[in-house]
């Protein structure tokens, strides 16, 4: 039986929320949100340089002074001299090479989140870049257009390194997506929106004290690395590429007037057709592309609203406060100054629906519980599972906690959410995705497609992308093999041969 998405109504759930204005009135204004709004910074778009047939990108990780707050410098990390990195444009079918230089005082790694690529190039915990070293992974981009991102992944330190600002976007383009009548003028009508959160010390420096339960969850949201941002459109329709790059925060995103908007893409690429909603949820690592229309001269706020029912996390003295009841203004949008022709009608179909053939597929179960997956925490020398074929699998991932939220990310893969049980929370799309949120008690059935890169010598990760959970060991490893091959990790896992 091929999986059909018969639960359309379920996936399309729309939540009616209380008026944001009323709720915002009782919340304290986060630091950096009073006073004049600043124009939204747009990271530079990097198209790379063709060297020996490879589209080559240079990323210099280093310490920088960021203007996250309006009036103080914040010592932070970034790429090429900026807080957050450039947006890298990767055309499908091309061979790319990254030259990642570590100009920091400590080891880190850079992972290409959402990319199907050989495990040796993945940038997970087994590809450390020591201070002063340059790591040069190379691969051929072979997946549909999507908004992916790059971020650090050193074992046990991912949350801290991401919090300091080592992140950027990767746009995969292909002829099919480029031909669509949707906004695609970078920084003009196609806008990156990188959501993070921080805590600050009095002097403007980052507060890096980890909460023993919530890690580096911040109380000050930022968009593209600043507080209190505004963007003035020059066109009547904007495409926002939303990324939850925070370490631990879930966002319930909506507009202040409750206007509907169109979701056109999930983590791993375009949806078959636009889906109209009034709010969407993002958990750390997830992306969504949305289209929103603006009238001449109007102002509307992209905001993070309270999660209905606290996303089913009990609101009692025994339960952690995951920040699901927080309400923030994130990004003010202003309509164009002058009227212009109405935007083209939205395409009814964006891409042909992908139907993964899961007949007879290998099925696996992943039970998430506190910091463990299937009763274990991460061991860098242990291979948790082997995939020795190139067909899709069905993974069932369950959150066994009744009072904790988690999510689940798989490297070198994308998936469709076949079904959701154990929660009333709406999941707004079945995919394609690479990260899925799991409210308490939720269980998802995923049809997972892996990149075809068997290699007995290197492992890929799957993990909770709430980075404090990941850093506490909520992660496992899989190796992809040809049939009959055996895992041969050699010295690699001692980090002496790479």
- Contact residues: Cu ion, CB under 5 A: 406, 464, 466, 469
The CB-of-399 to Cu ion minimum distance in angstroms stands at: 8
Q: What is the distance between the alpha carbons of residues 342 and 296, in angstroms, rounded to a whole number? A: 11
Return the DSSP state at 493: G
Of the pair 101, 406, the CB lying nearest Cu ion is at 406
Task: Give me the least distance between CB of 283 and Cu ion, in Å please.
Answer: 9
Give the up-direction half-sphere exposure of residue 469: CA atoms within 13 A in the CB hemisphere: 26
Quick one: 145 or 464, whose CB is closer to Cu ion?
Answer: 464
**CB nearer to Cu ion: pick between 192 and 285:** 285
Q: How far is the CB of 262 from Cu ion (least distance, A)?
A: 30
Element (H, E) at 471: helix 467-471
Residue 467 CB, shortest distance to Cu ion, in Å, is 9
How deeply is 310 buried, as exposed, middle or buried, from its count of CB atoms within 10 A (0-12, 13-18, 19+)?
A: middle
Q: Who contacts 463 (Cβ-Cβ below 8 Å, separation ≥6)? A: 373, 378, 408, 409, 469, 470, 474, 475, 476
Helix (H) / strand (E) element for 467: namely: helix 467-471
Element (H, E) at 98: strand 95-102
Nearer residue to Cu ion within complex by CB, 68 or 464: 464
Nearer of residues 65 and 401 to Cu ion, judged by Cβ: 401
Minimum CB–partner distance for residue 240 and Cu ion (Å) = 26
Provide, rounded to whole angstroms, the least separation between the CB of residue 151 and Cu ion: 17
DSSP E strands in 202-247: the ranges are 220-223, 229-232, 237-244
| Residue (161 or 406) nearer to Cu ion, CB | 406
CA 415 – CA 397 distance, rounded (Å): 12
Q: Which is nearer to Cu ion, 399 or 412 (CB)?
A: 399
C-beta of 464: minimal distance to Cu ion in Å? 3
Task: Count the helix, strand and coil residues of the chain and give each as a percent rounded to the nearest 5.
Answer: 5, 40, 55
What is the closest distance, in whole angstroms, from the C-beta atom of residue 324 to Cu ion in the complex?
Answer: 14
How far apart (Å, rounded) are the C-alpha atoms in residues 443 and 398? 4
Name the β-bridge partners of 369: 372
Q: Which is nearer to Cu ion, 88 or 464 (CB)?
A: 464
């Amino acid at each position: 039986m091929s999986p059909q998405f018969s639960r359309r109504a379920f996936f399309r759930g729309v939540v009616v929320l209380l008026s944001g204005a009323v709720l915002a009135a009782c919340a304290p204004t986060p630091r950096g949100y009073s006073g004049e709004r600043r124009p939204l910074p747009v990271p530079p778009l990097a198209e790379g340089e063709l060297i020996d047939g490879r589209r080559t990108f240079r990323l210099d990780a280093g310490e920088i002074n960021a203007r996250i707050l309006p009036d103080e410098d914040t010592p932070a990390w970034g790429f090429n001299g900026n807080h957050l990195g450039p947006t890298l444009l990767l055309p499908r079918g091309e061979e790319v090479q990254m030259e990642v230089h570590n100009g920091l005082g400590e080891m880190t790694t850079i992972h290409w989140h959402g990319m199907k690529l050989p495990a040796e190039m993945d940038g997970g915990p087994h590809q450390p870049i020591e201070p002063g070293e340059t790591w040069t992974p190379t691969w051929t981009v072979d997946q549909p257009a999507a908004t992916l991102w790059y971020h650090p992944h050193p074992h046990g330190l991912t949350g801290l390194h991401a919090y300091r600002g080592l992140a950027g976007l990767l746009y995969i383009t292909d002829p099919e997506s480029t031909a669509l009548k949707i906004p695609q003028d970078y920084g003009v009508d196609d806008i990156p929106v990188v959501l993070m959160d921080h805590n600050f010390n009095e002097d403007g420096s980052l507060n890096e004290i980890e909460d023993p339960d919530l890690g580096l969850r911040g109380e000050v949201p930022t968009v593209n690395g600043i507080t209190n941002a505004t963007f003035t459109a020059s066109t009547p329709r904007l495409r926002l590429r939303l990324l939850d790059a925070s370490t631990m925060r879930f966002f319930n995103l909506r507009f202040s007037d409750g206007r509907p908007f169109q979701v056109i893409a999930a983590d791993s690429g375009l949806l078959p057709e636009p889906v109209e909603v009034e709010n969407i949820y993002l958990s750390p690592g997830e992306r969504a592309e949305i289209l929103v229309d603006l009238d001449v001269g109007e102002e509307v706020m992209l905001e993070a609203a309270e999660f209905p029912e606290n996303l089913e996390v009990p609101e009692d003295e025994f339960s952690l406060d995951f920040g699901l009841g927080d309400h923030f203004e994130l990004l003010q949008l202003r309509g164009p100054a002058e009227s212009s022709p109405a935007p083209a009608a939205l395409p009814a179909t964006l891409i042909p629906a992908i139907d993964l053939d899961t007949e007879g597929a290998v099925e696996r179960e992943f039970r998430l519980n506190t910091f463990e997956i299937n009763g274990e925490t991460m061991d860098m020398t242990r291979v948790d599972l082997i995939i020795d074929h190139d067909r899709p699998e069905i993974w069932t991932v369950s959150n066994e906690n009744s009072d904790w939220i988690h999510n689940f990310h798989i490297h070198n893969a994308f998936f469709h959410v076949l079904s959701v049980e154990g929660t009333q929370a709406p999941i707004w799309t079945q995919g394609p995705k690479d990260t899925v949120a799991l409210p308490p008690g939720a269980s998802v059935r995923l049809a997972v497609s892996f990149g075809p890169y068997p290699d007995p010598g290197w492992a890929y990760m799957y993990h909770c992308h709430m980075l404090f959970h990941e850093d506490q060991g909520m992660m496992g490893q899989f190796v992809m093999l040809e049939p009959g091959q055996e895992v041969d990790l050699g010295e690699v896992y001692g980090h002496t041969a790479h």
